[in-house]
């Protein structure tokens, strides 16, 4: 169903503008250690980081939501859980961030060259996902959903301001 990036040993993912990738060295994310959701700036652009736990992650473009797999037998209930969570109480506001354009979601420890190579090589397991966002200011919100007693996903959604 969804394309998942396998869990990261570094426990940090980064949503980085494609034009910044050639200069990304992977070490920049050390500034956001121990935060589930954070942001940094590079080359005048906002960069979103997802971290604190080495969980697999996917991007759901229709709902502008990142989902991290806490535990589940499979991801068949993910889309219905995200849809149900859309109007749920309990979303926690985390930060506001200016975003827009073509981004790539990848392990924050990977250097830009490795991320670009991954995007070009469809034969290998995915190490990066492309994300396109209309320009604007976004509120990032987090919520943990438990569709049933055997399933849990951590969600981060982007709400246009």
**pLDDT tens-digit readout, 42-54:** 888 988 988 877 7
The residue ranges of every structural domain in the chain are 12-160
Q: Considering only CA atoms, which of 155, 147, 151 is closest in space to residue 71?
A: 151
* Predicted local confidence at residue 125, as pLDDT: 73
Share of the chain above pLDDT 90, in %: 52
Lowest mean pLDDT of 25-34, 42-51, 56-65, name the range: 25-34
Query: What is the DSSP secondary-structure string of 34-87?
Result: T-SEEEEEETTEEEEEEESS--EEEEEGGGTEEEEEEE-S-STTHHHHHHHHTT
**CA atoms of 118 and 152, how far apart (whole Å):** 28
Looking at residues 4-10, what average pLDDT do you find?
77
* Predicted local confidence at residue 40, as pLDDT: 84
Mean pLDDT of the chain: 88
């Amino acid at each position: 169903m969804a394309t998942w990036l396998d869990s990261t040993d570094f426990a940090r993912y980064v949503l980085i503008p494609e034009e910044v990738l050639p200069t990304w060295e992977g070490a920049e994310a050390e500034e956001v250690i121990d935060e589930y959701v954070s942001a940094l700036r590079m080359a005048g652009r906002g960069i979103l980081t997802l971290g604190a736990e080495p969980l697999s992650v996917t991007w759901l473009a229709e709902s502008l939501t990142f989902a991290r797999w806490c535990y589940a037998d499979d991801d068949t209930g993910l889309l219905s859980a995200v849809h149900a969570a859309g109007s749920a109480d309990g979303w926690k506001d985390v930060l506001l961030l200016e975003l827009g354009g073509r981004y790539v979601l990848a392990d924050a420890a990977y250097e830009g060259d490795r991320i670009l190579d991954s995007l070009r090589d469809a034969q290998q397991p995915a190490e990066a996902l492309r994300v396109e966002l209309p320009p604007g200011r976004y509120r990032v919100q987090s919520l943990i959903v438990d569709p049933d007693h055997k399933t849990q996903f951590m969600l981060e959604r982007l709400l246009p301001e």
